[in-house]
Amino acid sequence: MIILGIDPGFAIVGFGVLRSEPGQQRLLSCGAITTPAGQPLPARLLQIENDMAQLLETFRPDAMAVEELFFNNNITTGIGVAQARGVILAAAERAGVPIFEYSPSEVKLAVVGYGKAEKRQVMDMTKRLLRLKAVPKPDDAADAVAIALCHARSNTSRLQSPDAARPGCGRYAVRKE
């Protein structure tokens, strides 16, 4: 399975592409889509859409994992990010790529095992789990790789398997009455 992880933004969109097989993930590529600061928002959104289409065509992912929108104090920035996120989701939908959304705490939990982990802990575990020499750069790309890794670890979990709740599979004990 090829997973495209996306850390949405309108100035910088981080991306990370993983090949995931049961019990093993490998980083194929990562980087960032950047848009010039002086450019009007519609032009930036068009560039993001075009670059996303190129990423989707190049890697042909089986799934896209994207971070859910998180508003902190700056609502104006949040609106721009929400618009960019909409363009990103539309590009994946147009390409027929299934979309999976994760909150920051879900990413932290899947990668580190603790939903309130610090950013540096997530980056360190991402590096370790993927056996990388260094944390991916820029930070937006590293975040996107962690989001893709979250999906890979969630998608291969026994909790997600179709027979996870089947009696006798090991998840639940079979009760004899």
Burial class of residue 137, CB neighbours in 10 A (0-12, 13-18, 19+): exposed
Verify whether residue 124 is a known catalytic residue.
no
Verify whether residue 62 is a known catalytic residue.
no
Q: Which one from 49, 51, 67, 143 is the annotated catalytic residue?
A: 67
Q: Please state, in angstroms and rounded to a whole number, the distance separating the CA atoms of residues 1 and 7.
A: 19
Token digits of residue 31: 């980087």
Q: Which residues pair with 67 in a beta bridge?
A: 102
The crossing angle, in degrees rounded to 10, of helices 104-112 and 119-129 is 50
Verify whether residue 140 is a known catalytic residue.
yes
Q: Which one from 7, 49, 51, 143 is the annotated catalytic residue?
A: 7
Cα pseudo-dihedral 51, 53, 59, 64, rounded to 10: 100
Q: Please state, in angstroms and rounded to a whole number, the distance separating the CA atoms of residues 58 and 143.
A: 21
Q: Please state, in angstroms and rounded to a whole number, the distance separating the CA atoms of residues 35 and 29.
A: 20
Token digits of residue 156: 């291969």
* Residues 142/124, Cβ–Cβ less than 8 Å: no
Q: Which one from 49, 51, 140, 143 is the annotated catalytic residue?
A: 140
Catalytic residues, which ones? Answer: 7, 67, 140
